[in-house]
Structure 1
């Protein structure tokens, strides 16, 4: 399990917290509705609440990612429901369960939509790689970093059906000597 600090949403308060929770919970419920109906979802441009940037995001769920992460969404929605349905004044932005639950919910939605939902003022990695590969026969690398002054945070998710005997799959390849 990842360190909670790496997946938790930032400490938020007031309207930003309520907007963030409402948006993430609503998007999770919406994407599960799409899966239940079994229809291909059209791409839509969504204006996100003021707690997020950018304000307009083109969204279209990836059917394979949705199928792979649907169970996670169901579980997270059950945990998130008490927070999403309580009065905004009762929300505590420092609550670790709230922050971690909605951090994981955001992570799953980002995987399904292949976008980042970043809160205003939040510093997040700009190095984000999502790969979906059927067969790896040679070398496949998500991210290569070279140089003596490399300082980067990375997020690599790789979905692979088969890595053949001659294949090599690498998430992040860092060479500080270059």
Structure 2
């Protein structure tokens, strides 16, 4: 995880535009999650607002709210919105030496990454580019049977990372870090 201070090398105008977007999206995600509690259950993610241009580097897939993540992060998102309100509303300037503000911005960004299930990297930031990320890790003393860290049917963009670490593999067992059918093409 990069230090939140790395955001200070990014232009404050870019960061401020990004945090305004994420701030609003956090509110919208919470509203949608609260509404979904009274609706019929669904597993389909809710579509989110379009990303402002020239704020995030990389190739984002269409943003969708994964409401099960919003449920887990609701209180944290509300706290971060309260901390960042004066910057978003223009009541306080965002100074590059305001470490507390940048820590809150990074925390909001990481929370929204969980909600979107995509990495969000600001333009000019020294970090892996924005986009979907699929990661799976198996860390076991012994694997008895078949173990797969990541198995996916279709990944049309983004990054896939699988790791398997085991001290022992039982006879007849198998361990696979990544098993993917169709990574960047059409089905």
So what's the TM-score if we normalise by structure 1? 0.62
Distance in structure 2 (CA, Å) of the matches to 1:113 and 1:48: 15
2:65 aligned residue: 61
Please identify the structure whose Cα radius of gyration is greater: 2
2:85 aligned residue: 81
Are the equivalent residues in 1 in contact too, given 2:22–2:108 (CA < 8 A)? yes
2:179 aligned residue: none
Aligned-pair CA distance for 1:102: 0.7
Are the equivalent residues in 2 in contact too, given 1:20–1:51 (CA < 8 A)? yes
1:105 aligned residue: 108
Gaps of 5+ in 1: 132-136, 147-178
Task: State the secondary structure of the residue aligned to 2:163.
Answer: strand
Task: State the secondary structure of the residue aligned to 2:105.
Answer: helix
Aligned-pair CA distance for 1:44: 4.7
Are the equivalent residues in 2 in contact too, given 1:43–1:59 (CA < 8 A)? yes
Distance in structure 1 (CA, Å) of the matches to 2:76 and 2:35: 18
Shift of the 77–104 alpha-carbon distance from structure 1 to 2, 3 Å rule, reads same
Aligned pair partner of 2:7 in 7, 10, 19 = 10
Are the equivalent residues in 2 in contact too, given 1:8–1:101 (CA < 8 A)? no
So what's the TM-score if we normalise by structure 2? 0.59
Distance in structure 2 (CA, Å) of the matches to 1:27 and 1:114: 14
Gaps of 5+ in 2: 137-143, 151-161, 166-187
Aligned-residue Cα RMSD (Å) equals: 3.2
Distance in structure 2 (CA, Å) of the matches to 1:74 and 1:48: 22
Distance in structure 2 (CA, Å) of the matches to 1:29 and 1:75: 11
Distance in structure 2 (CA, Å) of the matches to 1:77 and 1:105: 8
The size of the alignment, in residue pairs, is 137
Distance in structure 2 (CA, Å) of the matches to 1:31 and 1:10: 24
